[in-house]
């Protein structure tokens, strides 16, 4: 009895596959009966249907057509010797024949069927939602491939973000895990397969020219090697002509000559590898997503903690009222504000801006803020307090980490003493004009020999003190202009006597209008204090 088969010629070489199904699907899809990896081949390109003793070839609406003996067809009854071309350029050519010896195909057909079954299992695993961790998927892939191919051992290597292959898992028969150090083999074949994207199937390393290149592998008794690329579609690739990328390799070897040398077995191993790659990539993406979710959750918790460390944004006293806001450019930031009662009458307040952004800056901001809370009550001299904070930070110095800071103390009689350590100069809005306050010293936490000075300014009722971080003055518009001190001054110069909360809202609105949708590049922190005058029973200066 004649046994129909296809002789295949493509980029993988020449091979044969038996037509052992009533409907035999050909296409790029990994679960096809004959999966072909070619850009000219559609996912479901064509099918061969058994009709009694006849075999009919049907095109399944492929993008680039199906040709028999040079003529494009939609349906054709095959005759022995017919040459089938898939696509335009003839990169895949099939010859229909009735002369195959069944015994030569039985073993490979069975093995290919097993691999197709495992490919379907992996496809189902991927469809379940990639809740399995990457190690579980890699173990399933390796154990399945070793069992079906009768290899003795194998490994998976995956590319890192720089495209360098990394050893991920090695397994042997019986589900034994091997360490990377114990897996002796030449890396020439897997690296070649990764770089070219072309499979290598070596039935016997002792034949041909392989012995010279793989002496170390042969020395430990290895005879056959099978290595296939792990390939996935590029993000955004089209359904038909989508490009692919190789994410790693699946390598198998053994001491016995391989039985999986037929074309159908090789094609099915590649189909298996395609589904394995998709399952591995899904698991890897899931792991990355889960890690990002954990990081996002941790950042949200850190942001909650940071907000809890800040005092209430509004504060009212008999002699003054205060309003402040801190808007990090990321989930957490490196700016802070704080205030506290120094004694029964004096009121201290500060604004700081540490170097950097994100979690490292947030941690340092918490350190600076805690040192402020500890040192401010010790002395009524702002310069002495700043020197103490500088010394405390230097005891636990972190390279390239420092903080700007402005600290002021206002007494009931209107005497306002301040020290500015590298911060944007505070602005005092008085009835007859404005004044920038620049007395102080360098940033804290950087210079051990730094010295600090303070200045005292007499505030009158209605006078406003405005302190901002450089995220305000350096805010950018969509045209990349800088907000600057002039715009800061214009926003608040006519605010004398207004409640601190109203001044804060005016300044913040001015910054937002100026930025007009441009991304916030730095943390924005503003503190506004209005002096109301001596409290009840307090003499005026």
* Fold match, 4-98 / 310-531: no
Task: State residue 254's pLDDT score.
Answer: 83
The CATH class of the 109-288 domain is alpha beta
Task: State residue 147's pLDDT score.
Answer: 79
pLDDT tens digits along 171-184: 988 888 887 655 56
30-65 burial string, b = 16+ CB within 10 Å, else e? Answer: bebbbbbbbbbbbbebbbbeeeeeebebebeebebb
Alpha-carbon distance values, 290 to 87, 213, 225, 277, 283 (Å): 42, 43, 36, 20, 10
Radius of gyration for the chain, computed over Cα atoms and rounded to the nearest angstrom: 37
Mean pLDDT, to the nearest integer, of 458-472?
A: 96
pLDDT tens digits along 77-129: 999 889 998 887 667 889 998 864 444 444 444 555 555 555 544 554 444 44
pLDDT tens digits along 284-338: 777 777 777 777 787 787 778 788 889 999 999 999 999 999 999 887 888 999 9
What's the pTM value of the predicted model, to 2 decimals?
0.54
Task: Give CA–CA dist 300/297, Å, rounded.
Answer: 5
- Residue 540 is given by DSSP the state P
Quick one: which H or E segment has residue 9? strand 5-10
Mean pLDDT, to the nearest integer, of 494-520?
A: 94
pLDDT level of residue 240 (50, 70, 90 thresholds): very low
Alpha-carbon distance values, 407 to 102, 284, 289, 380, 385 (Å): 91, 50, 43, 11, 9
Residue 29's Cβ-count burial label (10 Å; 0-12, 13-18, 19+) is middle
Q: Which residue from 202, 291, 218, 280 is spatially nearest to 245, judged by alpha carbons?
A: 280
Task: State residue 456's pLDDT score.
Answer: 97
CATH number for domain 4-98, candidates 3.90.1150.10, 2.60.200.20, 3.40.50.300, 3.40.50.150: 2.60.200.20
Widest pairwise Cα distance in the chain: 120
Task: State residue 207's pLDDT score.
Answer: 67
The CATH class of the 310-531 domain is alpha beta
Task: State residue 108's pLDDT score.
Answer: 47
Residue 217 pLDDT exceeds 70: no
Q: Which residue from 486, 489, 462, 476 is spatially nearest to 515, judged by alpha carbons?
A: 476
The tokens for 284 are: 């890897």
Task: State residue 276's pLDDT score.
Answer: 81
Grouping H, G, I as helix, E, B as strand and the rest as coil, residue 371 is: helix
Q: For the chain, which residues make up each domain, given as ranges?
A: 4-98, 109-288, 310-531
pLDDT tens digits along 371-428: 999 999 998 899 999 999 999 988 876 665 789 999 999 999 999 999 999 999 999 9
Task: State residue 462's pLDDT score.
Answer: 97
Grouping H, G, I as helix, E, B as strand and the rest as coil, residue 19 is: coil
Grouping H, G, I as helix, E, B as strand and the rest as coil, residue 13 is: strand
Task: State residue 128's pLDDT score.
Answer: 40
According to DSSP, the β-strands at 440-441 and 415-421 are parallel
Residue 281 pLDDT exceeds 90: no
Residue 467 pLDDT exceeds 50: yes
């Amino acid at each position: 009895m004649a046994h129909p088969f296809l002789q295949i010629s493509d980029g993988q070489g020449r091979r044969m596959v038996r037509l052992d199904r009533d409907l035999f699907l050909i296409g790029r899809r990994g679960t096809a009966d004959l999966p072909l990896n070619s850009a000219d081949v559609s996912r479901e390109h064509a099918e061969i249907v058994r009709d009694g003793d006849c075999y009919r070839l049907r095109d399944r609406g492929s993008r680039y057509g199906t040709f028999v003996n040079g003529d494009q067809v939609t349906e054709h009854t095959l005759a022995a010797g017919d040459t089938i071309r898939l696509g335009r350029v003839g990169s895949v050519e099939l010859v229909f024949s009735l002369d195959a010896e069944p015994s030569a195909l039985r073993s490979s057909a069975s093995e290919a069927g097993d691999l197709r079954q495992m490919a379907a299992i992996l496809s189902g695993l991927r469809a379940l939602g990639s809740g399995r961790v990457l190690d579980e998927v890699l173990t399933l892939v390796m154990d399945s491939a070793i069992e079906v191919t009768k290899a003795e051992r194998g490994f998976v290597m995956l590319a890192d973000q720089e495209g360098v292959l990394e050893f991920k898992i090695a397994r042997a028969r019986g589900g034994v895990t091997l360490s990377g150090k114990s897996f002796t083999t030449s890396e020439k074949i897997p690296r070649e397969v990764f770089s070219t994207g072309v499979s290598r199937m070596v039935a016997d390393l002792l034949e041909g020219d392989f012995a010279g290149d793989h002496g170390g592998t042969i020395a430990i008794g290895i005879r056959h090697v099978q290595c296939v690329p792990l390939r996935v579609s590029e993000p955004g690739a089209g359904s038909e002509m989508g490009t692919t990328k190789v994410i790693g390799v699946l390598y198998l070897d053994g001491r016995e000559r391989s039985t999986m040398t037929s074309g159908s077995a090789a094609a099915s191993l590649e189909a298996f590898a395609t589904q394995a790659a998709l399952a591995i990539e899904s698991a890897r993406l899931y792991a990355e997503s889960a890690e990002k979710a954990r990081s996002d959750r941790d950042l949200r918790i850190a942001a909650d903690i940071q907000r809890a460390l800040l005092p209430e944004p509004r504060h009212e006293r008999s002699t003054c009222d205060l309003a402040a806001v801190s808007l990090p450019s990321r989930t957490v930031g490196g700016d802070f504000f704080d205030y506290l009662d120094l004694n029964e009458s004096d009121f201290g307040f500060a604004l700081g801006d540490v170097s950097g952004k994100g979690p490292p800056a947030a941690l340092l901001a918490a350190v600076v803020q805690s040192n402020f809370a500890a040192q401010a009550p010790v002395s009524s001299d702002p310069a002495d307090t700043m020197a103490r904070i500088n010394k405390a930070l230097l005891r636990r110095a972190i390279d390239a980490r420092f903080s700007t800071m402005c600290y002021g103390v206002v007494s009931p009689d209107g005497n306002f003493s301040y020290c500015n350590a590298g911060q944007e100069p505070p602005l005092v809005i008085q009835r007859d004009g404005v004044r920038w306050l620049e007395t102080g010293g360098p940033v804290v936490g950087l210079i051990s020999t730094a010295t600090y000075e303070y200045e005292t300014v007499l505030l009158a009722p209605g006078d406003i003190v405005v302190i901002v971080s450089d995220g305000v003055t350096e805010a950018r518009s969509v045209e990349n202009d800088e907000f600057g001190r002039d715009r800061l001054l214009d926003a608040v110069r006519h605010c004398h006597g207004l409640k601190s909360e109203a001044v804060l809202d005016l300044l913040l609105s001015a910054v937002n209008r100026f930025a007009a949708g441009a991304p916030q590049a730095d943390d924005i922190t503003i503190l506004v204090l209005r002096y109301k005058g001596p409290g009840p029973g307090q003499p005026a200066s």
